């Protein structure tokens, strides 16, 4: 008799299958709730504009193994006049225009990048 032909082996398979299914669905629900909380928090935050300097830029590449596609996220770190720092995700186009050492005005809402304005001199 094999493990899937009924009896206690069939029950064990059903328990393991159900547990994995519940774990996957639970993880997805937690990720959705976390994303909604971040989105809601950003929407409730005031839009702020502060003078700052760009102190770092970085990219994070994920995926790309086998047949899967890659995804690149872009980040810039801004240092304010009080020496505090904030790293924000920025779009690909904005990432290309921002240069480390740039000084200007950052506009953001919570953890959401809005704009970086560098005055032309």
Q: For residue 55, what pLDDT band results from cuts at 50, 70 and 90?
A: very high
Q: For residue 64, what pLDDT band results from cuts at 50, 70 and 90?
A: confident
The residues spanned by each domain of the chain are 1-44, 46-117
| Tens digit of each residue's pLDDT (9 = 90 or more) over 68-109 | 788 999 999 999 999 999 999 999 999 999 999 999 999 999
Sign of CA dihedral 46, 49, 54, 59: positive
Sign of CA dihedral 101, 106, 110, 113: negative
Enter the tokens of residue 82: 């009080």
Please state the rounded mean pLDDT for residues 33-50. Answer: 94
Q: For residue 65, what pLDDT band results from cuts at 50, 70 and 90?
A: confident
Four-CA torsion 52, 58, 62, 67, nearest 10 degrees? 120
Give domain 46-117's CATH number out of 3.40.50.1100, 2.40.50.660, 3.10.129.10, 1.20.1240.10: 2.40.50.660
Query: Rounded to an integer, what distance in angstroms lies between the CA atom of residue 33 and that of residue 40?
Result: 10
- Other beta carbons within 10 angstroms of residue 98's beta carbon come to 19
Q: DSSP letters along the chain, please?
A: --TTSSHHHHHHHHHHHHHHHHHHHHHHHHHHHHHHHHHHHHHHSPEEEEEEEEEEEEEEEEE-STTPPEEEEEEEEEEETTS-EEEEEE-HHHHHH--TT-EEEEEEETTEEEEEE----
């Amino acid at each position: 008799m094999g493990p899937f032909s009924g009896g206690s082996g069939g029950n064990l398979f059903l328990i393991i299958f159900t547990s994995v299914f519940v774990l996957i669905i639970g993880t997805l629900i937690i990720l959705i709730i976390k994303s909604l909380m971040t989105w809601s928090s950003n929407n409730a935050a005031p839009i702020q504009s502060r003078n700052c300097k760009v102190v770092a830029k970085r990219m994070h590449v994920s995926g790309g193994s086998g047949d899967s596609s890659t995804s690149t996220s872009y980040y810039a770190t801004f240092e304010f006049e009080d020496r505090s720092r904030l790293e924000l995700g920025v779009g690909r186009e904005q990432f290309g225009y921002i240069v480390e050492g740039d000084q200007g005005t950052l506009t953001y809402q919570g953890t959401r990048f809005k704009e970086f304005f560098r005055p032309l001199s």
